[in-house]
Amino acid sequence: MTLSPWAPEYRRLSAGIVSLVAVFGFEGIAVSAVMPVAAADLNAISNYAVAFTSFTMASLLGVTFAGLWADHIGVKKIVTLAIITLGIGSLIAGFAPNIHVLTLGRSVQGFALGIDLVTMYVVIGRMYPEALRPKALGMLAAAWVVPGLVGPGIAGLMVEVSSWRMTFWIVPLLLILPSVVLLSQLDKLQTAIPQPRTDSKSQIIAVLAAVLALAVFQFSTSRIGQWDVSIVVAISTACLIATAWTTRTLMPKGYLKIAVGIPAIIGMRGVISAGYFAAEVYVPLALQEIRDVSVAISGAVLTVSAVTWFGGSWLQGSHRIKMSREKVLVFGSVLISIGIFLTPIAVFAPSNATVASLAASLACGAAAFGMGICFPTLGGLMLDKSPEADHARHSASLQMSDSFGTIVITSITGAALSFAAFKNNLSGQTFVEMWLVCGFVSVLALLFIPQIQGKQTIHP
């Protein structure tokens, strides 16, 4: 009999995980679809990237908090905190009178996501047998399918009938069911004996330093065109060096050197996240601002991506791929790069805006399929190569790597957007340049793969 996360003994747990992740998925997809409208309403197109980078920066704090305290406080309490925080952040963003308050609300939401990302990996690592973990991790992608299918349509309807603010206001209501289902199951979770941690203080200092450095980096890159270029380059370089320094504390030893095993796994996740998420952020904006596409239709690109991501995730967990994990990662990485490089052609080559949206769906869908293959494969490798007591720690490092990469590349590409908006010269060429940067970054993931399947496992 084939093991399944939906077997009777795991069914309610799986339903709880999927329903909670689905709410985070709806929030992410719906907000991405309406953010161009929100930015225009708040007169903040030049700060468009900030709504995303602030979210990701705050997630670093959530990841650190969960990684340090999940075993001390208890996973159930940590998950409860994530649920409450997401609801509060959504209300703040929904009532935001300006981009600054919206950024605050997005930051609170990001903190909640950071907690959720770590705790879901911990729950899967401890409550499912090793043979079920690939399928359980694939469930996380599946949880985005329904939000991906209905999110853009609902977001578009809300914009037409009421306001973009409704996409935030509805989130607290959507959290009720997952809270009831999942929290009752987490009583069964056997908490691992907390490992003595002498690095908690240094971890907190390091993540605060990283967030500060990344925030200054994002701010300085957005000043291109307003500040002297040499000043922007000097500040940005210093911030990147400071961020790299923090990885000595936040990441496994050998992270920056692409050392064998865990460091290479975590490093590759950061690179593919940087290329893919930075590229995806600007697709709805380009379609709405340059091609005059509606919120619902531009958001449909995200729908296709959610579905194909699930398809890739299901495929990697189905055991139907007869390739080694190394070849699977090569296949997925190549798809990501091809999809990103095709995005500017898809968006701007067709003369018809609807055709452009369809072509963009295909290009982004290909990249998302590759992400669906790579993301859970890397997550599964991390769990397999880590002792159970290190699941929370290494899960936190994995999510931090995702965030570091995404923030840096989104800030760099966002600088081009800020410059064009400041000069009142936003055009298709701006987006083409941004997507080309993302495509070249995604190609770098191939450098990590030979180091992943080494026998050595390195711990912090």
pLDDT for the residue 338? 97
Q: For residues 245 and 255, what is the distance between their CA atoms, to the nearest angstrom?
A: 11
User: Domains in the chain, start-ordered, CATH in brackets?
Assistant: 12-192+199-452 (1.20.1250.20)
Question: CA angle 328-140-174, nearest 5°?
Answer: 155
Q: For residues 283 and 276, what is the distance between their CA atoms, to the nearest angstrom?
A: 11
Strand partners, 227: 224
- Burial track 234-251 (b if 16+ CB lie within 10 A, e otherwise): ebbeebeebbeebbebbb
pLDDT for the residue 394? 82
Neighbouring residues of 408: CB distance < 8 A, sequence distance ≥ 6: 214, 217, 240, 243, 274
- Residue holding tokens 């340059």? 290
Rg, Å, the chain Cα set = 20
pLDDT for the residue 376? 85
pLDDT for the residue 134? 76
Provide the phi-psi class of 129: left if phi over 0, else alpha when psi is between -120 and 50, else beta: beta
Task: Write out the chain's pLDDT in tens, 460 residues.
Answer: 457 888 888 889 989 999 999 999 888 888 888 998 998 899 888 788 888 888 888 988 888 888 777 667 778 888 899 999 999 999 999 999 999 999 999 999 999 998 887 888 788 888 888 788 878 877 877 787 777 777 777 888 888 888 899 999 999 999 999 999 998 888 776 655 555 555 677 888 888 999 999 999 988 988 887 888 899 999 999 999 999 999 988 888 888 888 888 899 999 999 999 999 999 999 999 999 889 888 888 888 888 888 898 888 888 776 666 677 788 899 999 999 999 999 999 999 898 988 999 999 999 999 999 999 998 889 888 888 877 777 777 877 888 899 899 999 999 998 888 888 888 888 889 999 999 999 999 999 999 999 887 644 433 3
The answer to whether the beta carbons of residues 166 and 158 sit under 8 Å apart is yes
Q: For residues 264 and 198, what is the distance between their CA atoms, to the nearest angstrom?
A: 25
pLDDT for the residue 193? 54
Provide the phi-psi class of 221: left if phi over 0, else alpha when psi is between -120 and 50, else beta: alpha
pTM of the model: 0.81
Q: At what angle do helices 325-348 and 428-443 cross, to 10 degrees?
A: 170
